[in-house]
Structure 1
Amino acid sequence: MNQIVPPRFLFRWSFTARKLANLPRSSGRLLDLPDDCLLPSLSELEQRRDFATVKLAWNDGGLALGVEVKGRSERPQFVQGENQLPDGIGLWFDTRNTQTVHRATRFCHHFVLLPLGGGPKHTLPVVKALPVARAREDVALPDAALVRIQSEVSSTGYWVDVWFPAEVFSGFDPGANDRIGFHYAIHDTELGNQNLAVGSEFPFESDPSLWQTVELVP
């Protein structure tokens, strides 16, 4: 369907994230978020189907995110080099949910998650903190070593659980600000790309006004 303006761009989207007190878990699977933490799919507006599910939750200690990719015909592989993007997930957060600025503030954060590529055999998941493109000012990157990540890779896809403790974010204070800006972009070398709302036709990598709102509900 050829459209000048993508349907997802016509609306300002707002989603909810549940408060779950027992996160992250100390043993077994890190998160394993329930289905009522699932973010709704917007792909139907463009007559497409998502290949990944994304779940969000929170508590006073931080944010929890779970991603599961299904439908591959072969196991994801570690990709090294700059000629091909690896299978992975880009995340953008704005702890002040400033919807009226077009350049990132110090409350904006960018992370990249890879289901594999870490460790001596490149089989462990990876989390990286990166600068937000065209940010208003240079700020120190959060310590990605504080982020807990777990993954499992199979012949048909993978899942990734990630726990972002509150201290990796500048300005994370659910008591004072119960709405955050959020966007994700999932790249899969076999299945393509999936975005929360707008895609690569818009500069979401650098423009927080294109990120959507997540309400941190009790």
Structure 2
Amino acid sequence: MSERLVAPTFLFRFAAPCFYTADLWSSKGASLGPKHILPCFGELEGKKIHTEVRAGWSEAGLAFQFVIKGKTQPPWCRDSRIDDSDGVQLWIDTRNTQNIHRAGRFCHRIALLPLGAGRKLDEPLIALLAINRAKESPREIDTRQLQIRGERRHDGYTLQAYLPAQTLTGYTPGDQPSLGFTYAVIDRELGPQTFTVGPEFPFAEDPSLWGTLNLVK
């Protein structure tokens, strides 16, 4: 029996459409329908898919929705240990530079946790994180502009996030209709789920391992 030496997701560059929505975000959260569902290319390796991911865009910013199912245990979250917490992390390159191995000023990393904010630490948390080994960082922003909504369910939870254009350095969809993009759903019970390559590759710090979102209007 021959052994697989290279993961299938490492051999290709993956792209997915991200559809336009004029009224992207409201007090009720993201306005994302079935057409906004993103594929998970980990399926090529037979990995279990436990999270439905949706993404949409407008000139005003980006919105995401994550629906995590199949849990029997509550999520483990600590605002002091975001990297170790259950939740989602997003990586976005507003210039979609596929040939660099160290993040630049157009690269962003955002964490979404179902718990960790509020007086009782029982509200969803959103945070902008540094990217390891980055050559430059995005411009400083008021993180209160980042929006998040969450809902606990009997078998998991949902997270919705809105990233206004002013929080994303270089976000000009009229001139740059493609974004470098990947995500990681981190869950101690269900295991990881990623957009392209898995945690066996250093995608957290290497933009050349990210996929692409094509902004479709």
Shorter-chain TM-score bucket reads over 0.9
Deviation at 1:98, TM superposition (A): 0.4
Query: Which residue is equivalent to 2:147?
Result: 148
TM-score (norm 1): 0.93
Unaligned runs of 5+ in 2: none
Say if 2:161 is the partner of 1:188. Answer: no
Q: Distance in 2 between matches of 1:21 and 1:80?
A: 33
TM-score (norm 2): 0.93
Q: Secondary structure at the match of 2:44?
A: helix
Query: Which residue is equivalent to 1:4?
Result: 5
Query: Which residue is equivalent to 1:167?
Result: 166
Query: Which residue is equivalent to 1:39?
Result: 38
Deviation at 1:74, TM superposition (A): 2.8
Q: Distance in 1 between matches of 2:13 and 2:81?
A: 34
Query: Which residue is equivalent to 1:177?
Result: 176
Say if 2:88 is the partner of 1:127. Answer: no
Cα RMSD of the aligned pairs, angstroms, is 1.9
Percentage of matched positions with identical amino acids: 39
Change (3 A) 1:120 1:7: same
Say if 2:19 is the partner of 1:13. Answer: no
Q: Distance in 1 between matches of 2:148 and 2:80?
A: 23
Deviation at 1:143, TM superposition (A): 2.7
Query: Which residue is equivalent to 2:208?
Result: 209
Task: After superposing the two structures, state which structure 1 stretch, 183-192 or 139-148, moved more.
Answer: 139-148
Deviation at 1:47, TM superposition (A): 1.6
Deviation at 1:22, TM superposition (A): 1.0
Task: After superposing the two structures, state which structure 1 stretch, 121-130 or 29-38, moved more.
Answer: 29-38
Q: Give a deviation string over 1:176-215, Cα, whole Å, max 9, x none.
A: 0000100101111210111111111111111111111110
Query: Which residue is equivalent to 1:68?
Result: 67
Contact 2:91 2:108 in 1 (8 A): yes
Contact 2:177 2:214 in 1 (8 A): yes
Task: After superposing the two structures, state which structure 1 stretch, 49-58 or 72-81, moved more.
Answer: 72-81
Q: Secondary structure at the match of 2:84?
A: coil
Query: Which residue is equivalent to 2:114?
Result: 115
Say if 2:197 is the partner of 1:198. Answer: yes
